Structure 1
Amino acid sequence: MATKAVINVDLADVFAAPNRKGFLHTMAWGDHVDVEEVSSVHVKIKTVKFETHSDGSILPVKTEAFITPTKSSKLKPADLIIPSKQNRVLKVNFVDVQQGDGAVIESPDGKIILIDGGDNQLFARYLAARFRSSTAAKAKKIDCILVTHGDADHYKGLVEIHESETHKEPKKRLFIAPERVYHNGLVKRPSTKNGKKTPDKELLGPTKKVGDETILTGLVDDLLSVPDTEMNQPFKAWKDALTNWNGRSPIEFRHLSFGDDDAFDFFKAQDLEIQVLGPLLTTKGSTTGLKFLGKPPKGPRIGHESLSLDESDFNGLDASHTINGHSIVFRLRYGGFSYLFTGDLNDEASRILAQRHQQGEINLRSEVFKVPHHGSADFSGAFFQMVSPIVSVVSSGDESARKEYIHPRATLMGSLGKYSRVAEPLVFVTELVAFFQVEGWSQLTDPAKATKRGDFFGFSRAAFGIVKTRTDGERFLVYTDSGKANMKEAYAYTLDANGMPIPSSVIRA
């Protein structure tokens, strides 16, 4: 009978035969595995292999396989695994969802937090492959869905999860039961009203003018309580998905702002915690809410280093920059390693947080940095300097001319290197770690589209663009897949005597 275990080395290659013949795939530190036997030369496991069918689909097939360490690794088979109950590995994956954000956090004891979800089916497809065999009666428990802010490229892809429940292909279905849904409290209104364009001041709900500032006062907790007439179309679809999931099991809804750390008490454990650093509420007299932000200087530009906040740099009331600037910002710390998630944080809001850090009110310094707004030009170099990351992840992608924003910007990429605390920082871009293979000349099968487009030269995705990280609080691993199944780009760090991360060799069996 198989026993439950997890991989206990950075990377472990899996083969069809015990003599390291017939390579299947590579497993990583903290991955769960069913172990059938541990001999003096190999570990025999239950796993899946992926077979390519005539229609081009790649499907998992259950099989037995072997992990046999190389002689040069000087590892013994018993070193490669530990019992699941001893697992201490936190897993954080950043998924290529093209123009958008999507990440998955999994605690050592299996709690799942989804951070955003892009605006297409890519995140749902990834999750369906990761959490296989869910059904309506046995939905996958999701401890928390956190939507950093209400732009569709951060949550519309979560609607695709709900729509996948009726997909004709079972392998693409995913049934979930989210227990908590956190957001920043702002709901986008319809872009037009009575046939006219809705003014920016009215796009995000009720406001109150106090002195020179306009404050958004209608922050929402329960998204299901918002009338459909007060939502744009993507929000209505999101509300429909939430309504269905809420019928499966009640959801706790809550909008977050600075200091709401108790929202993550369910996740907190020894050496593992989440601190909410933004958005920052503004209080003027008896009025509390989120300050309406302005439009930044026209770019692209060079010169993002200023820490001071000159209000004249940001003019008027701009709904887009306001909802971005009030993204939920949180710091996930596990032992000596921290992650900073920033949504679509912009220059104006970043400068305010950087000032708070400099004054000792918050701590932005983090080893892993989810870079704001897909690498937009609207960033603060001073903020990057306070974070001083070792590993940075930009979530971006080119889908069409309509969604082309030149992300990531050259100035931003340069600043990430300049303000890192190490001489050789790692900067990953999700669209660049995806791999495609040439398929050649193809023809669309839809007659309407075929007439319009005709033949085209096609590519297919050979590997998802996923930046995968693992840590137990004392050691850190980051790696990506390649178009070749056995080729990985991997880096490791450990902590020195002063608790500072230093490079370490990647351990591969």
Structure 2
Amino acid sequence: MKKFLTLFIVLFSIFLVACLDKNVENKITNKNSIQKNSSILTVHFIDVGQGDSTLILTPDNKTMLIDGGDNSQGEKIKNYLKKLNVNKIDVLVGTHPDADHIGGLDYIIDNFEISEFYMPRKSHTTKTFKDVLIAAKNKGLAIKEAKYGVVFNLGDYVKCEILNPVKKYGSDNNQWSAVIKAKYNNKSFLFTGDAEFKNEEDMIKSGSNLKSNILKLGHHGSSSSTSEKFLKIVNPDVAVVSCKYKNKYGHPHKEILNLLKKYNIPLYRTDEQGSLVFYCDGNEIWTDKKPGTYNYYGNK
């Protein structure tokens, strides 16, 4: 009898897991109907190799693109957006002047109608940075300053806050990174650019509400970002990292992988899984992919 009861419990548990998996599958497999559902927000972490590019599509068809990968990724991002029938970008953000974040933005500016363009007030001497400025000027596109305290609505449903740069940070491009929190009803996403420990501490001291359901790890999962203190305050349900498979920087670093594992935070990663899409109805978030691994591929 005891063996039978044990077998029954095991089989019933397997049945429950199968049902849950099926429910999740049913929720996301018919993506066309999901896109037509007027209550769904989608967040796309586009695989641009060793770089960042994130697309947000709101329930009322407003769009925000955060970063554009390096110089080779502009056309790939354009094609990705076109497949989603995106022809206009309501808010474009270049988080900071590094080429792996703004390299493709001149191409995007040339090929899309842009309503608003935000960048931090940090200049750079590179051709990549100058190309973005020229593209914006040729389009008659003013650049708004991305800084702490800026709040804007992305359509009628999504509220966005810029939480960094909190102050002036000298010559370090990464520390100037625009950090954006996007909130849809009861759920929120935190996009951190290449923000580092100093920025995290400044954001904590600023009193900003950092709690977010999904955290895009700072600086591609570098050990100079995502302190344990910051991670505990954000307290994400999942973390996402954008980087190239077996990149030369060793991203994501072992320290960050161990930290996420310590707090049992599932990690989704473009280097293992390609582009990632999260769906949100304002009360729950789901995706069609299982989490990636905590595997470390670098030498750091």
- Which TM-score tier does this pair reach, normalised by the shorter chain? 0.7 to 0.9
Contact 2:28–2:34 (8 Å) recurs in 1: no
Task: Find out whether 1:238 has 2:132 as its counterpart.
Answer: yes
Higher relative contact order (CA 8 A, sep 6+): 2
Task: Find out whether 1:148 has 2:38 as its counterpart.
Answer: no
1:160 Cα deviation from its structure 2 partner: 3.6
Cα 1:133–1:341 shift into 2, 3 Å: closer
**Alignment match of 1:10 (pick from 22, 27, 32):** 27
The residue number in structure 1 matching 2:18 is: none
Matches within 5 A, 1:340-351: 340-351=190-201
1:133 Cα deviation from its structure 2 partner: 11
The residue number in structure 2 matching 1:125 is: 76
1:29 Cα deviation from its structure 2 partner: 5.9
1:98 Cα deviation from its structure 2 partner: 1.0
Give the whole-Å Cα distance in 1 for the aligned partners of 2:238 and 2:73: 24
Cα 1:149–1:353 shift into 2, 3 Å: same
**Which letter maps to 1:345?**
A
Contact 1:29–1:470 (8 Å) recurs in 2: no
Give the whole-Å Cα distance in 2 for the aligned partners of 1:291 and 1:348: 9
Give the whole-Å Cα distance in 2 for the aligned partners of 1:352 and 1:129: 35
Task: Find out whether 1:431 has 2:277 as its counterpart.
Answer: no
The residue number in structure 1 matching 2:211 is: 365
**Alignment match of 1:113 (pick from 36, 52, 64):** 64
Task: Find out whether 1:269 has 2:156 as its counterpart.
Answer: yes
Give the whole-Å Cα distance in 2 for the aligned partners of 1:260 and 1:162: 22
Contact 1:147–1:182 (8 Å) recurs in 2: yes
Matches within 5 A, 1:354-393: 354-356=204-206, 361-379=207-225, 380-393=227-240
Give the whole-Å Cα distance in 2 for the aligned partners of 1:389 and 1:10: 22
**Alignment match of 1:89 (pick from 37, 40, 53):** 40
1:129 Cα deviation from its structure 2 partner: 4.0
1:125 Cα deviation from its structure 2 partner: 1.7
Cα 1:184–1:159 shift into 2, 3 Å: same
Contact 1:257–1:276 (8 Å) recurs in 2: yes
Contact 1:337–1:366 (8 Å) recurs in 2: yes
Contact 2:165–2:177 (8 Å) recurs in 1: yes
**Which letter maps to 2:260?**
L
Contact 2:278–2:285 (8 Å) recurs in 1: yes
Structure 1 length-normalised TM: 0.49
Structure 2 length-normalised TM: 0.81
1:469 Cα deviation from its structure 2 partner: 0.5
The residue number in structure 1 matching 2:296 is: none
Contact 2:161–2:181 (8 Å) recurs in 1: yes
The residue number in structure 1 matching 2:10 is: none
The residue number in structure 2 matching 1:395 is: 242
Greater strand share, structure number: 1
SS in 2 for 1:131: helix
Larger radius of gyration: 1
Contact 1:29–1:89 (8 Å) recurs in 2: no
SS in 1 for 2:104: helix
Give the whole-Å Cα distance in 1 for the aligned partners of 2:261 and 2:204: 18
**Which letter maps to 1:273?**
K
Contact 2:47–2:53 (8 Å) recurs in 1: yes
Cα 1:129–1:428 shift into 2, 3 Å: closer
1:112 Cα deviation from its structure 2 partner: 0.7
Matches within 5 A, 1:84-483: 87-122=38-73, 124-131=75-82, 140-161=87-108, 175-189=111-125, 232-246=126-140, 251-261=141-151, 264-265=152-153, 267-270=154-157, 272-281=158-167, 290-292=168-170, 319=171, 322-356=172-206, 361-379=207-225, 380-398=227-245, 404-419=248-263, 424-433=264-273, 465-480=274-289
Contact 2:221–2:252 (8 Å) recurs in 1: yes
**Which letter maps to 1:30?**
I
Q: 1:131-163 deviations in whole A, cap 9, x for unaligned?
A: 1599xxxx9221011111111110112234467
1:429 Cα deviation from its structure 2 partner: 1.2
Q: 1:47-71 deviations in whole A, cap 9, x for unaligned?
A: xxxxxxxxxxxxxxxxxxxxxxxxx
1:11 Cα deviation from its structure 2 partner: 2.2
SS in 1 for 2:34: coil
Q: 1:288-337 deviations in whole A, cap 9, x for unaligned?
A: xx143xxxxxxxxxxxxxxxxxxxxxxxxxx2xx2211211121111221
1:390 Cα deviation from its structure 2 partner: 0.9
Give the whole-Å Cα distance in 1 for the aligned partners of 2:147 and 2:284: 31
Q: 1:204-241 deviations in whole A, cap 9, x for unaligned?
A: xxxxxxxxxxxxxxxxxxxxxxxxxxxx2111221232
Number of positions where the alignment pairs a residue of Structure 1 with one of Structure 2: 267
Percent of aligned positions with the same letter in both sequences? 29
SS in 2 for 1:178: strand
Cα 1:409–1:112 shift into 2, 3 Å: same
Give the whole-Å Cα distance in 2 for the aligned partners of 1:130 and 1:29: 18
1:351 Cα deviation from its structure 2 partner: 2.0
